[in-house]
Amino acid sequence: MKKDDAQAIIAKALALAKAEHCEVTLTGAANASTRFSNNAITQNIAKTDATLTVLSAYGQTKGKAATNDFSDAGIASCVRRAEEIAKHSAPDTEYLPPIPQPAYLDVKAHFPATGAFTPDDRAKAIRESCRLCEKAGMNLAGSFATESGAWAVGNSKGLFGYWPYSDARYLSTVLTGDSSGWAESLSNDVTQVNPLAATGIAKQKAEAARNPVEVKPGKYTVILEPAAAAEMILFMLFSMDAKAAHEGRNGFAGKENTQITSPLITLRNQPDHPCCPGPPFLAGDWDWIIPLTCGMPVPETMWIERGVLKTLMYSRFWAQKTGHAYTGMPSNLILLGGDASLEELVASVDSGLLVTRFWYIRYVDPMTMLFTGMTRDGLFQIEKGKVTHGVKNMRFNESPLAMLKNTVKVGKAVRTGIGLPNLTPPLLVKDFTFTSGTSF
Amino acid sequence: MIADTKDGIMIEGRGSFSIDQMRCNFQFGGNAFWEVKDGKITQMLKNVTYQSMTTEFWNSCDAVADERFWVQDGIMNCGKGDPMQISQMTHGAAPARFRNITVRRGRA
């Protein structure tokens, strides 16, 4: 979706608007993916689509409608539906009117090579990886996906924003009869993705995890590789609504400006970080944690600084009501890393477990932020500074706050594909609670 | 089933849910929990989770309510795979009783 095309569609919607306020979001992308398993391609998908979302408001009543029909009639119908819904809705007492044109960060995240990547290109990379595993008598499964698109926003105060982006992500799971290993490679620029290297790591993990032993549930010193740590942080984000905390409805109640984690933990966002760029503004329909105003710039925010919770997520309404700075929701995350390599972290552990990644994390109790989930694709015993053998997977019941409080070492941060664009280091954590095992 | 239960917990709703990728080890919660003593519901409980292995769990089932209590359930966004593929799914069930299931406190 080119800038001119996006601007023309948004202008058309705004010109048709009769409501007091109108906000428009247009997101569109070309997605392509190839999936594979048992060392062969199983599926190819290509999809191009875009969605126009219109929010109309009369005073405090608002309505929203969406369409992917960009004909004149389609756009008009969408605007009329939003207005009709607004007229029949109860007032939203927290609604605030559209904002005038702000300045946006110039966030470079679009690489033409990603959009130009073909099914043949994906197949060639996958074939190389399949051959590597086939020769070793192992099975490779995974996906290679690309996305090239843009976000655009506009409103009745004359605001316009446009942000093009691209993403490429290769995922590999290597399986033996009784073990598996996982690794990913991702970048906004597909030429920086290295499928064979990721497959090599997954293969090495699967090999090392053969003949897994069972260990008893209990508290263990763990090294959480970046994908595992990032997933815990992602779920923790869901509890970071300042309003809910102030009303005693989440696990961060009463914790602002207090030491909540180890001083080794610093968590911030920076939309224009070159290693994990995020959108410079958020669309109104990204409001899955706090209400968001279409086109508000994403500020750079320090969330946790050396263990102190500096701020939670403040919507425009809650920021105004409390006199706090607006934070909105982050569009990327950077958990500050250290200098230690993963190998150095392992070498520092006398007895513990190395966790490649987690699976199916869910809240058990939002008020204490107790999560449960499983280890997956590479759980290893560490003995006297060395990875000695694979371990059968385990279920944990643990809080991310306890995890970050018990963090005693932080390794080098890398980009992971878990949730928001992020840089996350491996974490060495004491007393991580596993509560049961499984059969593999 | 309640009248036939000497000592148990009745769980309503789905609450928290997590299962390993081979669909073996699971841990679920609920939306309301009731203590059952000597065939009667005696009081409400809170912060309950239960955990088991799928085949052990279903082998421990010793009672299922009849068709009058069967309800159709389901979700609109059952997600599988990575990149995620999403589909609607339905799943009907009647209340059932399971013996000797591990119950834990669902609060940190």
pLDDT digits (tens), chain B, 108 positions: 999 999 999 999 989 999 999 999 999 999 999 999 999 999 999 999 999 999 999 999 999 999 999 999 888 888 888 888 889 999 899 999 999 999 998 887
Q: How far apart are CA B60 and CA B65, in angstroms?
A: 15
B92 touches chain A (CB under 8 A): no
* DSSP states of A263-282: TT--EEE-TT-TTS---SB-
Q: How far apart are CA B46 and CA B30, in angstroms?
A: 9
**B3 three-state secondary structure:** coil
**A324 three-state secondary structure:** coil
Q: Chain A partners of B21 at a C-beta cutoff of 8 Å? A: 359-360, 374, 376
Query: How confident is the model over A372-408, as pLDDT tens digits?
Result: 999 999 999 999 999 999 999 999 999 999 999 999 9
**A221 three-state secondary structure:** strand
Which pLDDT does position A108 carry in this prediction? 98
CA distance B9 to chain A (A): 18
Which pLDDT does position B82 carry in this prediction? 83
- Largest interatomic CA distance in chain A: 71
ipTM over 0.90: yes
Question: Is the peptide bond prior to B83 cis by the omega test (within 30 degrees of 0)?
Answer: yes
**Which of A27, A52, A202 lies closest to A129 in space, CA to CA?**
A202
| Angle between helix A72-87 and A3-16 (nearest 10) | 50
Q: How far apart are CA A412 and CA A429, in angstroms?
A: 15
B51 touches chain A (CB under 8 A): yes
Q: Where are the alpha helices (DSSP H) in chain B?
A: 54-59
Backbone angles phi, psi at A270, to 5 degrees: -155, 100
Q: How far apart are CA A310 and CA A245, in angstroms?
A: 14
Which pLDDT does position B108 carry in this prediction? 79
Which pLDDT does position A356 carry in this prediction? 98
Backbone angles phi, psi at A94, to 5 degrees: -105, 0
Burial A273-286 (b: 16+ CB within 10 A, else e): beebbbbbbbbbeb
CA distance A183 to chain B (A): 13
Backbone angles phi, psi at A106, to 5 degrees: -90, 100
B104 touches chain A (CB under 8 A): yes
Which pLDDT does position A284 carry in this prediction? 66
* Burial tier of A96 (Cβ tally within 10 Å: 0-12, 13-18, 19+): middle
Which pLDDT does position A60 carry in this prediction? 96
pLDDT, mean of each 10-residue run, chain A (440 residues):
96 98 97 98 97 97 97 98 98 96 98 98 98 98 98 98 98 97 98 98 98 97 98 96 97 97 98 98 83 95 98 98 97 97 98 98 95 98 98 98 98 96 98 96
